[in-house]
Amino acid sequence: MRQPDPDHGGEGSNVTRPAQMVRWRRRTCSEYVPGLLLAGTVAGVVWSCGGSGARHDAFAVDTLANGRVVVSNPDPARSGTADAFRLVEDLRIGAAVGAGTHDPFVFGAIVSLAVDERGNIFVADSQWREIRVFGPEGDFLHSIGGPGEGPGEFSTLGGATFVQATGVLWTLDYRSRKITAFDRDGRFLADHAYGERSLNAETVWRAHADTTGHLYRRDPDSGFDHLLRHATSEHGGLLLSDSLLLPVIDVRLHSSEYEFGMASSPVPMSPELHWAVGPDGGVWLGRSDTFRIHKVALSGDTVRTVELLRAPELLQGRERDSVAAAAGLSSGMLPRHKPVMGIIAVAPNSWLWVAVAEEDHLQAWDLFDDAGRYRGRATSPEPMALTPTPLVAADVVLGVVEDEFGGQSIVRLRVLPTS
């Protein structure tokens, strides 16, 4: 087990950047991915290929001496490719608050979304402590779990992830410290220990699955510093098969007083680590303060880096004072720059979706194809909640929106080219 070696440089980083990167060969756009220029034209995007030298208006692919492929994309504000996609709603699931007692279309607190290969939607609701299953057209099918401490019940519900290769739904009960497996119809299969040596827990569980039946989750026993990969089976088996030591980001903390005592949290706008797992099991890592996303193997080797040459904006003036005042801090405690990117997700077609950084919602993504080429921005017609993390597929996005009364609805948006 090794720590990945991508360049995670930036404010507060404790991971050093190699002193010198040796470029082995520069490839042209058409040489690297034959026919991709034509595909870009179909999407309404015109691409420029880079020559030698560092340019901010050119696309370039470099292969380093260690074999890592670095894909550099120009700033879309300069290249004019920012509005290549639109998101159009084609399904909404939800009812007005107070529509009925335990109406399946009234949600309390959605913590995660999952989808199976049939298009069924699994909605994990921590307030009701159950997973509600809806068909592809939004019809309610059945519920999984429910309040309790017995097999297949939840004292708390942190989230759910569906592993399509085995047809098993995996859930977390963080208070009972158990990971539970169900089949797609809600039948209980097995319980497994969430952690054995610590009381660390995630109230919102972000687990991932690849196409070969592996489940990925952060390890509470290591203080969430390790990413664990488990082999799973159709009968609910869960076997640890590998792990990855995640990069550590040093941030400034501040303490706040709550009813239960004092608690520490990062100051606003602090850099954070974003991660996702692709369909092939590659782990994608990125820092919010620099637009470089690294694909890392479980061996710790970085095999690909995708970057967007976008400079972070300064956090200054009234905005800086306002952010500091809202947190009860002096402005000098805040970082110099705003985050340059938000969460990352990998679609089943291996496209990268990188959220535009926002403090309290998510509305736009920057999209990169499976070769790392920037393909444009996709914007939701209304803001989505950061929790649960929106789910992306090849041509749809699934997320949660809230009305002015806090009522939650699930929306499915179809991805269409702007022209």
Burial of 173 (0-12, 13-18, 19+ CB in 10 A): buried
Residues 6+ apart with CB under 8 A from 326: 268
Residue 80: per-residue pLDDT = 58
Given the structure tokens 């309040």, which residue do they identify?
A: 147
pLDDT at 177 over 50: yes
Q: Residue 79's pLDDT is what?
A: 60
pLDDT tier, 156 (very low <50, low <70, confident <90, very high otherwise): very high
pLDDT greater than 60 at residue 411: yes
Among 115-129, 222-236, 253-267, 374-388, which is the least confidently predicted range? 253-267
Average pLDDT in the chain: 85
Instruction: Give the per-residue pLDDT at 200.
Output: 82
Angle CA 370–374–376, to nearest 5? 115
Residues near 99 by beta carbon (within 8 Å), at least 6 away in sequence:
105, 106
Per-residue confidence band for 164, with pLDDT thresholds at 50, 70 and 90? very high
Find the range with the poorest average confidence among 79-83, 110-114, 141-145, 328-332: 79-83
Give just the sign of the alpha carbon dihedral 88, 342, 333, 313.
negative
376-390 mean pLDDT = 94
Q: Say what the pLDDT of residue 255 is.
A: 79
Check residues 242 and 248 and name the one with the higher pLDDT: 242
Instruction: Say whether pLDDT at 42 is over 60.
Output: no
The confidence score (pLDDT) of residue 98 equals: 58
Please give the residue that has the higher pLDDT: either 199 or 204.
Answer: 204
The secondary structure of the chain, three-state, reads CCCCCCCCCCCCECCCCCCCCCEEEEECHHHHCCCHHHHHHHCCCCCCECCCCCCCCCEEEEEECCCCEEEEECCHHHHCCCCCEEEEEEEEECCCCCCCCCCCCCCCCEEEEEECCCCCEEEEECCCCEEEEECCCCCEEEEEECECCCCCCECCCCEEEEECCCCEEEEEECCCCEEEEEECCCCEEEEEECCCCCCCCCCCCCCEECCCCEEEEECHHHCCCEEEEEEECCCCCEEEEEEEECCCECCCEEEEEECCEEEEEECCCCCCEEEEECCCCCEEEEECCCCEEEEECCCCCEEEEEEECCCCCECCHHHHHHHHHHHCCCHHHCCCECCCCCCEEECCCCCEEEECCCCCCEEEEEEECCCCCEEEEEEEEEEECCCCCCEECCCEEEEEEECCCCCEEEEEEEEEECC
User: Over pLDDT 90: what percentage of the chain?
Assistant: 70
| pLDDT per position as a tens digit, 211-236 | 999 999 999 999 999 999 999 999 99
Residues 103-134 have pLDDT tens digits of 999 999 999 999 999 999 999 999 999 999 99
- The residue with tokens 């179909």 is 42
Reply yes or no on whether the pLDDT at 10 is more than 80.
no
Walk me through the domains of the chain, giving residue ranges and CATH numbers. Answer: 1-106+273-388 (no CATH), 107-246 (2.130.10.10)
Residue 419: per-residue pLDDT = 73
pLDDT digits (tens, 9 = 90+) for 353-368: 999 988 789 999 999 9
Q: Please give the residue that has the higher pLDDT: either 28 or 297.
A: 297
Q: How much is the average pLDDT of 317-336?
A: 93
Give the per-residue pLDDT at 264: 77
What per-residue confidence (pLDDT) applies to 24? Answer: 30
